Amino acid sequence: MNIAILSRNRNLYSTQRLIQSCIDRGHEVRVVDPLRCYMNITSEKPELHYGGEILPQFDAVIPRIGASITFYGTAVLRQFEMMGVFPVNESVAISRARDKLRSHQLLSRDGVGMPQTGFANYPGDVQDLIKMVGGAPLVIKLLEGTQGIGVVLAETRKAAESVIEAFMGLKANILVQEFIKEAGGADIRCLVIGNRVVAAMQRQAPEGEFRSNLHRGGSANLVKITPAERATALKAAKVMGLNVAGVDILRSGRGPLVMEVNSSPGLEGIEKSTEKDIAAMIVSFIEKNAKPHSTRTKGRG
């Protein structure tokens, strides 16, 4: 098969692992920087141009689109889809997962457990918003934040009011969520491929930090998940319409709660902590499922 990897940096661990897995399994592979692509959008023969050439027809595309280029990256992926190329994750599903507000609303609609979450626009509603999610301590998240950036823990009501009002004053869109104390600064990353959770790791925040992201200094270890956690991860990925997803779950007194669904989960932490070849599993998924012109919007919303 001829496989494209949409990535801005071929030297990243995840991109390198996917390249090697494609080669090891006998496929041709090419890394394509989505920001270097430009499109001929026509009903007769849609094309993707790259550095002065027309890109060849690929059998499949693996999108590794960073959050900062979601708009243009998903536009490029849509062009691949129009050309009949099989996407590991579809453009609509990636856009859906990247929109924190939309994804929480969709998870809520389908009954997936998640922390109590509030969203508001008017500063006069802040006190009731705080009360609505269970009061302080609470977590405040920028809708555009990634890798733990733009996430604040407000330990008192006064601190929460000040931070929320400051964000509102800057016209920043935020989510306000209950703080799950019993999680103890840890979460579980479940790696979903197709209809299976193929690996899971527990990420633990360092001392004095509540964010467990590995980019924030968190540590990762192999963890055994419960049937409820497995079912929750699979349902969350299905609601988003993602074939490959990293589903972040908090353990709470009322069961597993989904914190986020990631459409381009990093492979380094979970491969090293679980000693599983996730990249090969992704390529295997392509081998079993790639068909021309098979793109369809999975899930609703």
How much is the mean pLDDT over the chain? 90
All domains of the chain in start order, with CATH: 2-96 (3.40.50.20), 117-179 (3.30.1490.20), 182-287 (3.30.470.20)
What is the pLDDT at residue 172? 86
| Confidence (pLDDT) at 184 | 85
pLDDT of residue 300: 46
Residue 294's pLDDT is 72
The pLDDT assigned to 292 comes to: 78
Q: What pLDDT score was predicted for residue 216?
A: 53
pLDDT of residue 43: 83
pLDDT (tens digit per residue) in 178-223: 999 888 888 999 999 999 999 999 988 776 556 655 555 567 789 9
Measured between alpha carbons, how far is 32 from 113 in angstroms, rounded to an integer? 37
* pLDDT for the residue numbered 299: 45
| φ/ψ of residue 40, rounded to 5 | -105, 105
Q: Which residues of the chain have pLDDT under 50?
A: 299-301
DSSP-assigned states of every residue in 33-88: -GGGEEEE--SS--EEEETTEEPPPPSEEEE---GGGHHHHHHHHHHHHHTTPEES
Cβ contacts of 144-147, under 8 Å, gap ≥ 24: 144/67, 144/172, 144/173, 146/67, 147/213, 147/215, 147/216
